[in-house]
Amino acid sequence: MIFCSKCDGPDTSCCDFCRYYDFNANEDGAYCDRGWCRRNQEPRDPGSLCEDFHCVDAIDEACKEKKMKSLGQLAWEAYAKSVGGLTFDGKPLPTWLELGDRQRLGWEAAAEAIRIEGMR
């Protein structure tokens, strides 16, 4: 288990979701059912703390500490560069830090899925 500095640890609660967890939400973003663990390939609840739990915020902390970019950030920046930094309607794309938490988590999940698939 890997926790960020804001997590209380395995005996209480975590501050965010596991990096392997796919949140199951409706179109309004509200939790509507069990999500999916990409690492264990099974349904899980958001608060499931298995031995593979890896707090999403721990990724950001480790990257900041080592002055590195996460895989999600690298993917986002490559995408932004490939489209000239503009949305489909010509507006500027936000920077990685301007993206919302949900969007950054989505890019981290996409990058992690590619990494896992590449290891097969």
In the chain (120 residues long), the average pLDDT of successive 10-residue segments reads 64 59 62 69 71 67 68 93 95 91 86 78
Q: Are residues 38 and 92 in the same domain?
A: no
Let me know whether 58 and 77 are in one domain: no
Q: Which of 27, 45, 66 is where one domain is finished?
A: 66
Residues 13 and 60 in one domain: yes
Strands (E), 7-106: 21-22, 35-37, 42-44
Overall pTM > 0.85: no
Residues contacting 15, CB < 8 A, separation 6+: 4, 6, 7, 8, 55, 57
Judgement on whether residues 51 and 89 belong to the same structural domain of the protein: no
The domain tally of the chain equals: 2
Q: Are residues 2 and 58 located together in one domain of the fold?
A: yes
Residue 78's domain comprises 69-120
Using the 3D structure, point to which of 27, 51, 66 is the last residue of a domain: 66
